């Protein structure tokens, strides 16, 4: 298997047809997992939608280093495929970088893949509702219809520091969330 940077248009079918969200995120870096010449996976990174998250993770002085691993889609999801894929993308990303990713509790995800890659577990977001646009899809706050709301499930938040020892130490020292024990299926942590 080989991991290569891919153009945005190659991610669309995987994200819109296979990923449970069925919507495109903001993508700055896109990678493909290839088995021979067949594209069997897509992993994308982009700036988080919330500027508060960028400031909140490790402070305002590190906000520009925050990126979100916002889609991981695998055609087969074979054993160790996801961890191998993400680990290979780390080698192709610029650094230093603070990577945030979420595991959706509604999908019964606890972040097993992030745990396998030694991400820090920093808690679980609260379930909430979002405004919907006229087309029934999630909307930016200023564009939505306040009378129409959609449920957004709680998500487990994971953080990973990419870079040399000095950068990782600086990021860890400025991390504004507690590092918590990993949630497990038999004892999920819901904060």
Q: φ, ψ for residue 144 (rounded to 5)?
A: -85, 170
Predicted confidence (pLDDT) per residue in 51-85, tens digit? 898 999 999 999 999 999 999 999 998 999 999 99
Contact yes or no for 10/42 (Cβ under 8 A): yes
Average pLDDT, the chain: 85
**Is residue 166 scored above 70 in pLDDT?**
yes
- Please state, in angstroms and rounded to a whole number, the distance separating the CA atoms of residues 163 and 67: 13
Q: Which CATH class for the 2-174 domain?
A: alpha beta
- pTM for this model (two decimals): 0.82
């Amino acid at each position: 298997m080989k991991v290569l940077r891919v153009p945005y248009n190659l991610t669309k079918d995987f994200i819109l047809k296979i990923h449970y969200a069925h919507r495109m995120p903001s993508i700055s870096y896109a990678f493909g997992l290839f088995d021979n010449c067949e594209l069997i996976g897509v992993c994308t990174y982009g700036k988080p939608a919330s500027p508060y998250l960028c400031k909140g993770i490790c402070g305002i002085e590190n906000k520009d280093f925050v990126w979100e691993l916002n889609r991981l889609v695998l055609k087969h999801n074979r054993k160790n495929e996801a961890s191998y894929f993400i680990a290979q993308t780390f080698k192709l990303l610029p650094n230093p970088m603070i990577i945030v990713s979420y595991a959706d509790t509604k999908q019964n995800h606890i972040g097993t893949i992030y745990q396998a890659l030694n991400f820090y577990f920093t808690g679980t977001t609260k379930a909430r509702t979002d405004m919907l646009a006229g087309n029934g899809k999630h909307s930016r706050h200023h564009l939505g219809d306040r009378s129409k709301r959609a449920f957004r499930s709680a998500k487990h938040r994971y953080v990973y520091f990419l870079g040399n020892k000095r950068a990782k130490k600086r990021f860890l020292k400025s991390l504004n969330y507690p590092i918590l024990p990993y949630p497990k299926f038999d004892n999920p942590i819901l904060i």
